[in-house]
């Protein structure tokens, strides 16, 4: 560990895909390095001709503080997961180093060995979901600075609390509610093996923050006057097998350009960028049913179709939508909806992990007042997507958008996808993993709520998906 008058050594464990984000965090920590408080290291410091693996292992074994820069690519990288992360956690458990996960991009953490460690940012919103990434890295660096100060002084846990008594650096972005569990104390308690003390801190945090971390920034939404009713399921004759899937993604036709109702569109990517620059009116990790804005949104918590084993449930990882005994086609799915209406002109974004079957995003949903919705669904097994409209129990592809191949330029991320729908009047734009796929026009519904849906795969009776990091932006403001 760090010693008096010696800098605290920091090791960055990350994958190349996140190099730019690592650079931004490194820049925020530069004042600490100039002051001699830290000496940071990552693989870019390896000189040409030097053995890469031995250099990485040496610095990993010598570091006082190890930062795990978490993203889907990091979790899926065997080299970093096995060679760096597991070794780092082993040193952490022995009291030789302090490990802090830093959440860069939305990532499913189920089953990861660091899941129980306090991560940064402390509100658990990944950096890329912040309106201002500089603000996210600023808050992360401020917390790391406090850990560095404690590690350098080698103070006992009871003496460290004073570090947290003064005012914290005030986040200026929209993620301003801060976790009050002291990260420094948590790390050092872990190093000393005082697990009972850790659980005391966690329990105190839960008692002081019963409603979670995220809150609606601003909204004029009101709860519908009509009492929520249980949604019944309507049959569909369409199956994903009708698409006759082929292996691999197909590139767009040469010379093809985006169209909207047959008319050229200037730049859907610019429209998305402009919309993302607007602060969300609702943002939620969907991992805490007691969260105030989760409750205000009115998410379903009961089975939407018990006869087919449909269920909606909050877990510590997100909002789980299940179907255990459906039909062998794409009929009788599991619907899980929010009761609050979304802005009429909006950007909806959600990250989902499809374990089995097909799943997607409901929008402009008329529930609970009447029957009708649009749905944007993915079928990972065949690498296809579809957009359907259900108008008064007439369920059909929207303007022919029936199980199309995901374009080749959409980044592949396994079964984890980020879906975005940009609805502006009757013009609807669709994005997968932040990449434009199609757009169309329709006047059936001009507003409504949001929700999630899970279907079984053809030939199977089950489906499961986990939804996290949902957000809404009001494009009329």
CATH number at residue 140: 3.40.50.10140
The candidate with the shortest Cα–Cα distance to 346, out of 410, 403, 293, 283, is 283
Specify whether 248 is located in the same domain as 317: yes
- Residue 147 CB neighbours (<10 A): 25
Band of residue 329 on the pLDDT scale cut at 50, 70, 90: low
Specify whether 30 is located in the same domain as 166: yes
Q: Which whole number is the average pLDDT over 119-140?
A: 89
- Boundary residue ending a domain (191, 208, 225): 208
- Residue 428 CB neighbours (<10 A): 24
pLDDT of residue 446: 95
Q: Which whole number is the average pLDDT over 296-320?
A: 80
The candidate with the shortest Cα–Cα distance to 293, out of 305, 285, 303, 301, is 285
445 neighbors 374 (Cβ within 8 angstroms) = yes
Q: Is the pLDDT of residue 433 over 60?
A: yes
Q: Cβ-count burial of 14 within 10 angstroms (0-12 exposed, 13-18 middle, 19+ buried)?
A: buried
Query: In whole angstroms, what is the distance from residue 159 CA to residue 179 CA?
Result: 20
Q: Is the pLDDT of residue 431 over 80?
A: yes
Query: Which residues have CB under 8 Å from 85's CB, separation 6+?
Result: 13, 68, 74, 113, 114
Task: Give the model confidence (pLDDT) of 360-393 as tens digits.
Answer: 999 999 987 778 999 999 988 888 999 999 987 7
User: Looking at the domain assignment, is residue 436 inside a domain?
Assistant: yes
User: In total, how many domains does the chain have?
Assistant: 2
User: Looking at the domain assignment, is residue 220 inside a domain?
Assistant: no
Residue at token pair 């007042």: 369
Q: Is the pLDDT of residue 212 over 70?
A: no
Instruction: Give 227 or 139, the one with higher predicted confidence.
Output: 139
The DSSP bridge pattern shows strands 346-356 and 463-474 to be: antiparallel
- Boundary residue ending a domain (208, 228, 258): 208
Peptide bond into 121 cis (omega under 30): yes
**Of 195-209, 437-451, 463-477, minimum mean pLDDT range:** 195-209
Q: Is the pLDDT of residue 2 over 70?
A: no
Number of H helices, E strands in the chain: 11, 21
Task: Give the model confidence (pLDDT) of 90-128 as tens digits.
Answer: 899 888 899 999 999 998 888 888 878 889 998 888 999
Task: Give the model confidence (pLDDT) of 235-288 as tens digits.
Answer: 333 333 333 333 344 444 333 334 434 433 458 988 999 999 899 999 999 988
User: Looking at the domain assignment, is residue 1 inside a domain?
Assistant: no
Indicate which CATH number applies to the domain containing 278.
2.60.120.560
Specify whether 333 is located in the same domain as 399: yes
Helix 86-94 with 52-62: angle, nearest 10 deg: 20
Give percent above pLDDT 90 in the chain.
Answer: 30
Tokens of residue 279, six digits:
């602060």
- Boundary residue ending a domain (192, 208, 224): 208
Q: Is the pLDDT of residue 25 over 90?
A: yes
Question: What 3-state class would DSSP assign to 445?
Answer: coil
Band of residue 326 on the pLDDT scale cut at 50, 70, 90: low
- Residue 96 CB neighbours (<10 A): 15
Specify whether 409 is located in the same domain as 302: yes
Mean pLDDT (the chain) is 75
- Residue 72 CB neighbours (<10 A): 20
Specify whether 23 is located in the same domain as 112: yes
Query: In whole angstroms, what is the distance from residue 343 CA to residue 449 CA?
Result: 8
pLDDT of residue 158: 37
DSSP 8-state assignment for residue 21:
H
pLDDT of residue 418: 94
Instruction: Give 177 or 115, the one with higher predicted confidence.
Output: 115
Question: What 3-state class would DSSP assign to 286?
Answer: coil
Q: Is the pLDDT of residue 460 over 80?
A: no
User: Looking at the domain assignment, is residue 215 inside a domain?
Assistant: no
Specify whether 454 is located in the same domain as 359: yes
User: Looking at the domain assignment, is residue 3 inside a domain?
Assistant: no
pLDDT of residue 331: 56
Query: In whole angstroms, what is the distance from residue 59 CA to residue 66 CA?
Result: 10
Specify whether 30 is located in the same domain as 168: yes
Question: What 3-state class would DSSP assign to 29?
Answer: helix
Q: Is the pLDDT of residue 217 over 70?
A: no
Instruction: Give 434 or 216, the one with higher predicted confidence.
Output: 434
**Of 7-16, 123-132, 298-307, minimum mean pLDDT range:** 298-307
416 neighbors 355 (Cβ within 8 angstroms) = no
Specify whether 113 is located in the same domain as 164: yes
Which H or E run includes 374?
A: strand 372-379
* Bridge partners, 430 (sequence order): 421, 438
Q: Which whole number is the average pLDDT over 9-31?
A: 90
Instruction: Give 210 or 18, the one with higher predicted confidence.
Output: 18
pLDDT of residue 388: 93
Specify whether 249 is located in the same domain as 119: no
pLDDT of residue 6: 84
470 neighbors 284 (Cβ within 8 angstroms) = yes
User: Looking at the domain assignment, is residue 114 inside a domain?
Assistant: yes
pTM of the model: 0.49
Specify whether 130 is located in the same domain as 52: yes
User: Looking at the domain assignment, is residue 417 inside a domain?
Assistant: yes
Domain carrying residue 65 = 8-208
Instruction: Kindly report the length of the chain.
Output: 477
Specify which of 36-50, 120-134, 179-193 reaches the highest per-range mean pLDDT.
120-134
User: Looking at the domain assignment, is residue 229 inside a domain?
Assistant: no
**Of 27-31, 109-113, 168-172, 463-467, minimum mean pLDDT range:** 168-172
CA dihedral over 298, 304, 306, 310, signed as positive or negative: negative
Specify whether 441 is located in the same domain as 374: yes
Query: In whole angstroms, what is the distance from residue 128 CA to residue 235 CA?
Result: 39
Specify whether 45 is located in the same domain as 105: yes
pLDDT of residue 178: 38
pLDDT of residue 406: 92
Task: Give the model confidence (pLDDT) of 53-64 as tens digits.
Answer: 888 888 889 999
């Amino acid at each position: 560990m760090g010693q008096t008058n010696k800098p605290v050594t920091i090791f960055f464990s990350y994958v190349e895909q996140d190099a730019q984000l690592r650079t931004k965090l490194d820049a925020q920590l530069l004042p600490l390095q100039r002051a001699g408080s830290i000496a940071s290291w990552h693989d870019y410091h390896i000189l040409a001709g030097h053995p890469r693996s031995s250099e990485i292992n040496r610095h990993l074994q010598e570091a006082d503080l190890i930062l795990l820069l978490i993203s889907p690519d990091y979790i899926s990288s065997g080299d970093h997961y096995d060679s760096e992360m597991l070794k780092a956690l082993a040193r952490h458990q022995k009291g030789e180093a302090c490990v802090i996960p830093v959440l860069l991009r939305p990532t499913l953490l189920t089953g990861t060995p660091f899941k129980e460690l306090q991560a940064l940012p402390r509100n658990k919103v990944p950096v890329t979901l912040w309106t201002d990434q500089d603000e996210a890295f600023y808050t992360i660096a401020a917390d790391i600075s406090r850990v560095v100060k404690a590690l350098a002084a080698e103070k006992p846990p009871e003496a460290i609390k004073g570090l947290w008594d003064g005012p914290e650096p005030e986040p200026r972005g929209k993620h301003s509610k801060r976790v009050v569990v002291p990260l420094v104390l948590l790390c050092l308690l872990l190093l000393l093996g005082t697990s009972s003390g850790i659980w005391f801190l966690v329990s105190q945090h839960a008692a002081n923050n019963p409603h979670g971390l995220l809150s609606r920034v601003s909204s004029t939404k009101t709860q519908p006057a009509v009492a929520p009713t249980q949604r019944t399921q309507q049959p569909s004759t369409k199956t994903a097998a009708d698409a006759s899937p082929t292996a691999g993604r197909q590139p767009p036709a040469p010379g093809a350009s985006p169209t909207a109702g047959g008319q050229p569109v200037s730049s859907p990517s610019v429209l998305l960028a402009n919309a993302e620059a607007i602060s969300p009116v609702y943002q939620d990790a969907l991992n805490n049913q007691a969260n105030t804005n989760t409750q205000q949104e009115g998410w379903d918590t009961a089975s939407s179709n018990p006869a087919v084993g449909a269920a909606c449930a909050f877990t510590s990882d997100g909002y789980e939508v299940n179907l255990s005994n459906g039909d062998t086609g794409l009929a009788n799915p599991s619907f899980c909806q929010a009761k609050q209406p979304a802005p009429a002109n909006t950007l909806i974004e959600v990250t989902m992990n499809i374990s089995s079957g097909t799943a997607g995003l409901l929008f402009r949903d008329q529930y609970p007042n009447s029957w009708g919705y649009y749905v944007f669904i993915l079928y990972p097994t065949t690498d296809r997507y579809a957009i359907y409209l259900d108008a008064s129990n007439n369920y059909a592809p929207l303007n022919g958008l029936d199980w199309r191949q995901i374009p080749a330029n959409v980044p592949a991320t396994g079964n984890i996808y980020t879906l975005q729908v940009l609805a502006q009047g009757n013009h609807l734009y669709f994005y997968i993993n932040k990449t434009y796929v199609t757009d169309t026009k329709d006047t059936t519904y001009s507003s409504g709520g949001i929700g999630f849906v899970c279907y079984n795969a053809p030939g199977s009776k089950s489906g499961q998906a986990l939804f996290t990091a949902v957000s809404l932006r009001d494009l009329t403001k």
